[in-house]
Chains A and B, each alone.
Chain A
Amino acid sequence: MVVFVLVLAVAIILTGCGGQKKDTTVVEVKPIILGVPTALGTIEGADSLRAVELAVKEINANGGVTVGGEKRPLKIESIDTRESEPGLPVHDALAAIERLITDKKPHALVVSSFRSEVLLSSMDLIGQYKVPNIITIAMTTEFEKKLQTDYDKYKYNFRMGLTSGYLVQYLSNIMEHIGDELGFKKVYIINQDVLWAEGTAGGVAKWFEANGWEVVGKDSYPTGASDFSSSLTKARQGGAQVIMPVFDMPQAGILLKQAKSMRVPALMAGFISPAASASAWNTFDGEVEGLVNFIFEIGPIPVKAVPQSVSFFENYGKEFGADRQSKLSGHGPGPSYDAVYVLVDAIERANSLDADAIVDALKKTDTKGVIGRIKFNENHQVIYGFDPAETAIGAAFQWRAPGVRIPVFPGIAAESKIELPDYMK
């Protein structure tokens, strides 16, 4: 028996050793690693990652990225920084980013920080590791200021998403459009009591005051607030013609429902994140009708004037299903998809994966994408405006029965004028 076992063992070993010789003529192509360190537990983060996956799939299907005389595929390595969770310290998010950089050694990062304070802190980390980093979610205008404090250290950072400064500009212009179209001049501002929303609401309030509007009132609500009756009562009593909400919290849906039940005769126009995606009509049982809502970067809403936004929206649906398409977040996916193509274009123009060469190429980017024309200013921020032939754009839409989002601003993207909802006629 022992002899049998020994013979069997020897036979197995010899069989293993006698396998086919390794084909040394096959050369493994090393992929270009694209890191995605972001808050994957948020809809913006998760949808942005999917947008990146879509772009990578398309590019790899076309052969990959041409660099150094060969075609190399892209490969995504993602990590959940969890920075959107309540109480999570900034340094935990930074640790996740650093782990991604040191473990996976990405050639570049896309999407990146969700929270503005993580973005600002991560710029030092990025400068230390010298990894090109294209941000598409965090919105603080401090990014551009910090970049200029030590350009050589922070130059690896670029941003393609909308900023809070541009958000103020867009909302102001939407209000100007409403004033011109409907003759309205009295507004009540209701915003979330967080830095970005306070800054946005405060910025637009200044515009109102400088342009002959009457601000009937302005209230801030903490994240988690569930009763907006006091503001809606004051808006009604003050004769507000427009209510401008600025919210990204889920409870903002209560504001919409309460405004309807309290029969406040004012047009709701601003930004409510839960009411931005195509599925919001069903989620709120049609109570979003008449709301004029803002999409930070087009793509999640297709705009006929920008055909790439239409094809992105359609292809996203084909790749991930109609359900995911209907829930596409209004902030992040458009620029995240474009970020991959912009990066690939920069790598191919630089013909190098060297970080400094990529940065120099990125600075010279001038291309058309899902979000419109993509050009960076001197602070590495994509320029946003109102004409997709010249700049990237966001767009406002109005919810209409039976659950359709009709783009109404800017003019080149608009497919209809703003209509007064039934309760205001």
Chain B
Amino acid sequence: MGASVVIYGLANSAILMLAALGFSLIFGLSGVANLAHGGIYLLSGFVAWILVNKLGLPFLLAFPVTVAISGILGWLIYWVVLRRVRGMHLSEVIATFAVGVIILELFRYLGFVTFEFNIPVIMRGGTEILGVGIDYQRLIIIGLGILLALLLWFFAHYTKIGMALRGMAQDEYTALSLGIDSDWAAALSMALGSAMAALAALLILPLGIISINMGYEVLIWVLAVTVLGGMESTIGLIVASLLLGFAKTVTGTYFDPKYMEVVYLLSLVLVLAVKPSGLFGKFKELEERV
């Protein structure tokens, strides 16, 4: 039983981290809380399905095409919707949430509600680790999740573009005075974050079938992870994913699976009540500083 908790705890943690990477990237690098993340995640799944099943593209080709399309969509969301409310945080949240709902409900209106929407896994089959069976897809998610988290950290700390984006998030006016275009930076981070949402979708969605309500569920996951870990911290993202992933698995194994999904909401409430900036949040609330 213990081995199963360890292995599936890791798998669930990797799924959470992968899903939240794009959201964390956008917020950390541009200060925008992109609540359209769930809509973009789900749209990526449906786009991949259409490319494979209706246009006949092989999945290995549909994969990068879908990621590119989602990236372009993120770019467009910034220029068409967000640019007008830049700096007005509440308006940014409302606008992105509205975009996400429009995407999800548009798919529902178009009839994407049946059980046929499935995208293929990268590798079929499974293996046994410590006597516990696990599918290759979950192992790939664990491996790629760790790799992408490291790449994100490297990008944000050791590349010119990444540091420019972080500078913009920390102090926009100073960054502007140094010649960093805030609109360009924000649009780029939206594009990169949306591309990462697509990447997460194409790895996670093949575990089951695509369903529209997953777009809303993913939003709860990423909010729980980023709020718990701290909105601007990659380390926080990893630690929060591990905490929530294992909490979910332990709850299901030793208590009652009925409460597995409650851990996200409970963590949100507890963190906001006790330490609103999160475990590794850098920009502490005034109440925490005083």
Interface residues of A (CB under 8 A from B): 41-43, 46, 85-86, 193, 219-231, 233-234, 237, 249-251, 253-254, 257-258, 260-264, 273-274, 277, 279-280, 282-285, 327
Contact = CB atoms under 8 A, between A and B. Distances in A.
A188 to B, nearest CB: 12
Contacts of A260: 126
A221 B253 contact: no
A83 to B, nearest CB: 13
B115 A43 contact: yes
B209 A250 contact: yes
Contacts of B289: none
Contacts of B210: 250
29 contacts: A41-B109, A43-B113, A86-B216, A193-B258, A219-B257, A220-B256, A221-B260, A223-B213, A225-B257, A225-B260, A225-B261, A226-B208, A227-B12, A227-B260, A228-B257, A230-B8, A230-B257, A231-B257, A233-B132, A250-B115, A251-B211, A254-B208, A257-B207, A260-B126, A261-B135, A262-B126, A263-B126, A283-B209, A327-B115
Chain A to chain B: the 9 pairs with minimum beta-carbon distance, closest first = A250-B211, A261-B135, A261-B126, A262-B133, A230-B252, A254-B208, A274-B115, A230-B253, A229-B8
A317 to B, nearest CB: 16
B16 to A, nearest CB: 11
A86 B256 contact: no
Contacts of B209: 250-251, 253, 274, 283-284
B136 to A, nearest CB: 8
A262 B115 contact: no
Contacts of B160: none
A237 B209 CA distance: 28
B249 interface: yes
Given A257-B208, A260-B126, 14 more contacts: A86-B213, A220-B257, A220-B258, A221-B260, A226-B207, A227-B252, A230-B257, A234-B253, A237-B1, A254-B207, A262-B126, A273-B115, A284-B209, A285-B118
Interface in B115-153: 115-118, 120, 124-126, 128, 132-135, 138
A279 B118 CA distance: 11
B56 interface: no
B108 A41 contact: yes
B181 interface: no
Contacts of B1: 233-234, 237
A264 B133 CA distance: 9
B208 A43 contact: no
Contacts of B113: 41-43, 46
A205 to B, nearest CB: 15
B118 A283 contact: yes
Contact of B115 (A234, A254, A277, A285): A277
Contacts of B257: 219-221, 225, 228, 230-231
Given A253-B115, A262-B134, A273-B115, A233 B258 contact: no
Contacts of B109: 41
Nearest to A262: B133
Interface of B: 1, 4-5, 8, 11-12, 15, 108-109, 111, 113-118, 120, 124-126, 128, 132-135, 138, 207-211, 213-214, 216-217, 248-249, 252-253, 256-258, 260-261
Contacts of A249: 211
A279 B116 contact: yes
A39 to B, nearest CB: 10
Contacts of B252: 219, 227, 229-231
B185 to A, nearest CB: 34
B8 A221 contact: no
A276 B264 CA distance: 32
A118 B109 CA distance: 21
A281 to B, nearest CB: 11
Contacts of B217: 224
A284 B118 contact: yes
Contacts of B126: 260-263
A263 B126 CA distance: 9
B111 to A, nearest CB: 7
Contacts of B124: 285
Contacts of A282: 116
A327 B114 contact: yes
Given A229-B8, A251-B211, A262-B126, A221 B258 contact: yes
Contacts of A220: 256-258
A283 B209 CA distance: 8
Nearest to B261: A222
Nearest to B248: A227
A327 B113 CA distance: 11
A327 B118 CA distance: 14
Contacts of B108: 41, 85
B222 to A, nearest CB: 14
B55 to A, nearest CB: 16
Contacts of B213: 86, 223-224, 250
B4 A230 contact: yes
Nearest to A286: B124
A285 B116 contact: no
Given A262-B126, A285-B124, A233 B4 contact: yes
Contacts of B8: 227, 229-230
Contacts of B258: 193, 219-222
Contacts of A86: 213, 216
Nearest to A250: B211
B216 to A, nearest CB: 7
B211 A257 contact: no
B115 A233 contact: no
A250 B261 CA distance: 16
Nearest to A273: B115
A224 B261 contact: yes
A46 B111 contact: yes
